[in-house]
Structure 1
Amino acid sequence: MAPLPETHHALVQRVYAEPLKVEDIPVPKPTAGSAVIKVEVANIISYMRDIYNGVRKYQYPTPLVPGTMCIGRVAALGSDATLLKEGQLAYVDCTIRGRDDPGAIILSGIAEGGTEGSKALMHGEWRDSSYAEYMKAPLENCHPVDEAKFCSPVSEGGLGYNIGQLAWLGIPLVPYGGLKSINLQAGETVVIAPATGGFGGGAVLIALAMGARVIAMGRNADALAKLKKFDSRVETVQMVGDVEKEVAALKKFGRIDAFLDISPSQAQDSTHFKSCILSLRPEGRVSLMGGILGDLPLPHRFIMRFNITLKGKWMYYREDIPALIKLIEHGNLKLDHVKLIGTYPLEEWKEAFDVAADKTGLGEIVLLKPQY
């Protein structure tokens, strides 16, 4: 690739919760343990607007180049790189862990975590993220993608996907980490709740790709009907606010092995937590991944009596990423359904954030694309 330029365009937030601005800033330089990535497209998570306007009160340092996972090309490499090559297409993950302390975790461009170690990561080497023409990322966060396989036409032996569709893999990756943490097996039945949002819908699709039968649970009957049509292995149950009715509806489908919760914070008082746990078979497993901020009342006697395992899981492990890429490459998880709602330049970030907040559902994504 061409030598790195001296400066590039990037979205910058100078003061916490104040509007972002496009600025010319120095291009990051590669250091040992890092790669400089030329960003092709960067995801916009549905709640990005509420992160940077201060509504969600995420903690991060400023000034900051915001962002999250992205698809890009390797532009320059640190001296110790052994696998990545310049010009190679790569998925760049947003979950950065301390090399000497895996418990120190940040979300690139989003949150500095809750430990002194994680804060050191985000206030130092890995402060800036992907809403820019170039970004620096840890080598271990850059996962090569077989561009010929993924993007060549089907008639030439490829999968026929475009780079925008590849960017969607950051969505099912989150619930994939939760499902793997409770060792979901092919042939098992898992309840996904709520299942009608972006991450919940992604959970349904990845559970199917793992060979499971899915009971999708949510409030929106129309959205559940769309999920039901997606695959014959999908059953649906509507949340009605009545534990007894919900348990009865779930148990109609027989033995239930696992439950993945991926609730937003607004679901704090939902009855589905208790309903889904009470529907599990003995030795059933629960993965708690949602954004609930308060405590939950749990059916203690049932959990104790039937040896139910509760497992908290934040994000996923590094090794889950190439495993998910292989699921797509081998056709287990298809991207044909992924719909690009819009691709916006950095200057139109506000419109892009609004569209992502208001119009994204199952398999729908909004992207930022830096203008070169």
Structure 2
Amino acid sequence: MRAATLTAFGSPLKVHDAPDPRTGTGEVLVEVLATCVPPYAADVFSGARRYPLEPPVVPGVGGIGRVVSVGPDATKLKVGDVVWCDSTVRARDDALTPDITLQGWSSRGEGGAELARYFHDGPFAELMRVPTENVYPLPAGAAADPARWSVLGVHTIPYGGLLAGRLEAGETLLVSGATGNLGSSAVAVALAMGAGHVVAPGRNRAVLDLLADRFGERVSPVELSGDEDTDRAAMAAATDGQIDMVLDLLPPEAPSSVARAAAMTVREYGRVVLMGGVGMLGGADLALPYPWIMRNSVTVRGQWMYPRAANVGMIRLIATGALDLAPERITRFGLDQVNEAVAHAAAHGGPFERTVLTPGAGSR
């Protein structure tokens, strides 16, 4: 097979011939048809994000594939099925607190790193070996446009946060970081789930206008000033009712004051879910006031990625049309253009802009 390998941080990806992956029981071999390139991929590959990848590695974060072979313990999957391959791999020997790796991308702790050394390579290749439980059949229509369907990997991340916060139909949600790639996705997914209203703060006026134009009166954009108290008041005033839940998806370079201002708009007994990267590059911590959390009975929780069942839920949202992928702006690159794809993703990471790598044999 052909594969794109990160040989060292700071070096371009190298496209070369590599041995086909060999699978065993509990594993599936897929031909990779399409995989989204994250806008921050260049920062990961340069080493700026300090991800625990161990080069040489075939990177990437999940993708759409066609089943080439299955193990003897698979009872539903068939050769030729078009499937979603989830990157969130969990160790099988601890049901309560399993070690986790994002195949081809990241990991958590030493146990996750050990798991990553086995499920090492991701979807920037023509073939990928995936744990059986990470493979999800897609509707027949997905085969016609796997590149568009590959964006479900973007939408499933905020979907996991919305599930963690128990978003209910009719509730008001504030998305902190709404003008970013994941934040704008959270706006779309929340509305697809039945949110009554979404408050969308950010500094980019053009993006705020784009969200308002796409989703209409159910979205209230708020242009932030940079002053914490002023911004908190503006966000709280953006809806007639109270804010039931806050989902934070701010990137690592965002100041903690922005996340704190958004979190503290939530109502008494409200929920705050943290999924972003604030503080990961050495910035100040969130520092939510203890008395405010306690006296207002606020629930604050973190959520890394999403539970397995979220994949099924997201596929259903797309298949039923509740989440419309038609407005997604897809730019496709073949495997030999992988470095161009990474550069393009960095320059085009706005709302609903997707850079997709199509590694399958047809893209040569």
TM range (shorter): over 0.9
1:169-193 superposed Cα distances (whole Å, 9 cap, x missing partner): 1111101111110101000001001
The letter for the 1-side match of 2:200 is: A
Q: Which of 237, 244, 247 is residue 257 of structure 1 equivalent to?
A: 244
CA contact (8 A) 1:274 1:299 kept: no
CA contact (8 A) 1:39 1:130 kept: yes
Cα displacement (A) at 1:47: 0.8
Q: Which residue of the partner structure matches residue 186 of structure 2? A: 203
Q: 1:63-142 maps to which residues of 2 (within 5 A)?
A: 63-101=56-94, 102-114=97-109, 116-124=110-118, 126-142=119-135
Q: Which residue of the partner structure matches residue 332 of structure 1? A: 322
Q: In structure 2, the residue corresponding to 1:250 is in which secondary structure? A: helix
Looking at structure 2, the residues matched to 251 and 9 of structure 1 have their Cα atoms a distance apart, in angstroms, of 52
Q: Which residue of the partner structure matches residue 277 of structure 2? A: 291
CA contact (8 A) 1:209 1:332 kept: yes
Q: 1:3-82 maps to which residues of 2 (within 5 A)?
A: 8-82=1-75
Q: Which residue of the partner structure matches residue 302 of structure 1? A: 292
1:304-360 superposed Cα distances (whole Å, 9 cap, x missing partner): 1101110101000101100111111122111111111x2112222111111101112
Q: In structure 2, the residue corresponding to 1:247 is in which secondary structure? A: helix
Cα displacement (A) at 1:16: 4.0
The letter for the 2-side match of 1:216 is: A
Looking at structure 2, the residues matched to 85 and 225 of structure 1 have their Cα atoms a distance apart, in angstroms, of 45
CA contact (8 A) 1:10 1:24 kept: yes
Q: In structure 2, the residue corresponding to 1:258 is in which secondary structure? A: strand
- 1:343 aligned onto 2:343: no
Q: 1:212-231 maps to which residues of 2 (within 5 A)?
A: 212=195, 213-231=197-215
For normalisation by structure 1, the TM-score amounts to: 0.91
Looking at structure 2, the residues matched to 12 and 280 of structure 1 have their Cα atoms a distance apart, in angstroms, of 44
For normalisation by structure 2, the TM-score amounts to: 0.93
The CA RMSD measured in Å over matched residues stands at 1.5
Q: In structure 1, the residue corresponding to 2:269 is in which secondary structure? A: coil
CA contact (8 A) 2:147 2:358 kept: no
Looking at structure 1, the residues matched to 359 and 265 of structure 2 have their Cα atoms a distance apart, in angstroms, of 47
Looking at structure 2, the residues matched to 47 and 66 of structure 1 have their Cα atoms a distance apart, in angstroms, of 13
Looking at structure 1, the residues matched to 133 and 220 of structure 2 have their Cα atoms a distance apart, in angstroms, of 38
Q: Which of 301, 306, 323 is residue 311 of structure 1 equivalent to?
A: 301
The letter for the 2-side match of 1:278 is: M
CA contact (8 A) 1:278 1:299 kept: no
Structure 1 unpaired stretches of 5+: 1-7, 152-160
Looking at structure 2, the residues matched to 141 and 133 of structure 1 have their Cα atoms a distance apart, in angstroms, of 18
Looking at structure 1, the residues matched to 93 and 159 of structure 2 have their Cα atoms a distance apart, in angstroms, of 25
Structure 2 unpaired stretches of 5+: none
Cα displacement (A) at 1:100: 1.3
Report % sequence identity: 38
**Most deviating of 218-227 and 48-57:** 48-57
CA contact (8 A) 1:168 1:363 kept: no
Looking at structure 2, the residues matched to 52 and 78 of structure 1 have their Cα atoms a distance apart, in angstroms, of 33
Looking at structure 2, the residues matched to 78 and 60 of structure 1 have their Cα atoms a distance apart, in angstroms, of 27
Q: 1:147-226 maps to which residues of 2 (within 5 A)?
A: 147-148=140-141, 150=142, 162-212=145-195, 213-226=197-210
1:16-74 superposed Cα distances (whole Å, 9 cap, x missing partner): 44332112111112210010000111110011111112121211222211111111100
Q: In structure 1, the residue corresponding to 2:356 is in which secondary structure? A: strand
- 1:272 aligned onto 2:258: yes
Distance 1:188 1:67, change over 3 A: same
CA contact (8 A) 2:205 2:223 kept: yes
Looking at structure 2, the residues matched to 105 and 56 of structure 1 have their Cα atoms a distance apart, in angstroms, of 19
